[in-house]
């Protein structure tokens, strides 16, 4: 099977174009995403036909679980679809489990270098995130992890996030805290965990513990959730540069209620791999 290795700010994916999902996509993800015995990636992305959009994206984490959405992956899918002639326009719609996403492709000629994604409106109702909090008001609470309590703000960008503001993101035990928060019973579908250091109203530093992956170099939906939480908690403005270990994303929670994300998408290499035994 032919594949393309791609990444958005170091959040990397094995991208495969298929007409239908294979029988056990989770098993393929676990095998191919293994960094020692496979290709190595944070997730396996399938590009499929869609009767509702220009293309469809399905993404499986390195542990085999399926994610509803991924901001970095959808940018890669837009680049893949345009550069391989699946679409001819620089504005297109991608179908995901979280709904339809509109994206605009930047660049020159036949190449795509930067992608802007309409991530939609954030979901703030606890029952829809989901998180076990009382309905009404800001979806914030406290969770125990690594021997102490952490204040968090819950946001869904099509997938669930718990945003934790810290004074020093580099000095935070992202693995220890993130792994415990991810599986806390407060979050029935598990949760992505964002650790945010506020640098100013238009700038934050972010590290992310991704559900099913562990810490990654970047997370598009996590960056969006961090900005939404920053606005709700009075810690940031609505247009923010989000600095992640893999690079910087530009996020805007616009006055129309929708969140817009702009960042790069990069092709690393192409190859072929056989089905696992």
Residues noted as catalytic: 70, 219
Q: In sequence order, what DSSP letters do the residues of 135-159 get, joined into one string? A: SSS--EEEEEETTEEEEEEEEESSS
Q: d(Cα 134, Cα 175) in Å, to the nearest integer?
A: 28
| Backbone phi and psi for residue 42, each to the nearest 5 degrees, phi listed first | -80, -25
**Cβ of 275: how many Cβ atoms within 10 Å?**
11
71 carries a ligand binding annotation: yes
Q: d(Cα 216, Cα 74) in Å, to the nearest integer?
A: 16
As to burial, measured by CB atoms within 10 angstroms (0-12 exposed, 13-18 middle, 19+ buried), residue 134 is exposed
Number of helical (H) and strand (E) elements in the chain, helices listed first:
4, 18
Question: Which residues are paired to 170 by β-bridges?
Answer: none
Q: Which of 71, 57, 211, 49 is nearest to 130 (CA)?
A: 211
31 carries a ligand binding annotation: no
First to last CA, the chain: 14
Q: d(Cα 31, Cα 40) in Å, to the nearest integer?
A: 9
159 carries a ligand binding annotation: yes
CA of 104: how far to CAs of 79, 133, 158, 221, in Å? 10, 36, 19, 17
Binding-site annotation: residue ranges for substrate: 11, 61, 71-72, 159, 192, 210-211, 220-221
């Amino acid at each position: 099977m032919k594949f393309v290795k791609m990444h958005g700010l170091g959040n990397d994916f094995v991208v495969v174009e298929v007409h239908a999902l294979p029988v056990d996509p989770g098993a393929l993800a676990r095998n191919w995403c293994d960094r020692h015995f496979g290709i190595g990636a944070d997730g396996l992305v399938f590009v499929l036909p869609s009767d509702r959009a220009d293309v469809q994206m399905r993404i499986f984490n390195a542990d085999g679980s399926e994610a509803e959405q991924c901001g970095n992956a959808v940018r890669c899918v837009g680049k893949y679809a345009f550069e391989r002639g699946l679409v001819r326009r620089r504005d297109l719609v991608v179908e995901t489990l979280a709904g339809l996403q509109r994206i605009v492709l930047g660049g020159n000629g036949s190449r795509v270098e930067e992608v802007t994604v309409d991530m939609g409106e954030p979901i703030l109702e606890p029952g829809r995130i989901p998180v076990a909090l009382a309905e009404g008001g800001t979806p914030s609470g406290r969770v125990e992890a690594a021997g102490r309590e952490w204040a968090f703000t819950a946001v869904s960008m099509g997938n669930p996030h718990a945003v934790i503001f810290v004074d020093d993101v580099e000095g935070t035990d992202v693995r220890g805290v993130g792994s415990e928060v991810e599986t806390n019973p407060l979050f029935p579908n598990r949760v992505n965990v964002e650790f945010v250091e506020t640098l100013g109203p238009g700038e934050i530093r972010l590290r992310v513990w991704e559900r099913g992956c562990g810490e990654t170099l970047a997370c598009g939906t996590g960056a969006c959730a961090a900005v939404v939480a920053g606005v709700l908690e009075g810690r940031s403005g609505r247009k923010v540069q989000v600095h992640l270990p893999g690079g910087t994303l530009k996020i805007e929670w616009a006055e129309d209620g929708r969140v817009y994300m702009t960042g790069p998408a990069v092709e690393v290499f192409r190859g072929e791999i056989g089905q696992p035994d």
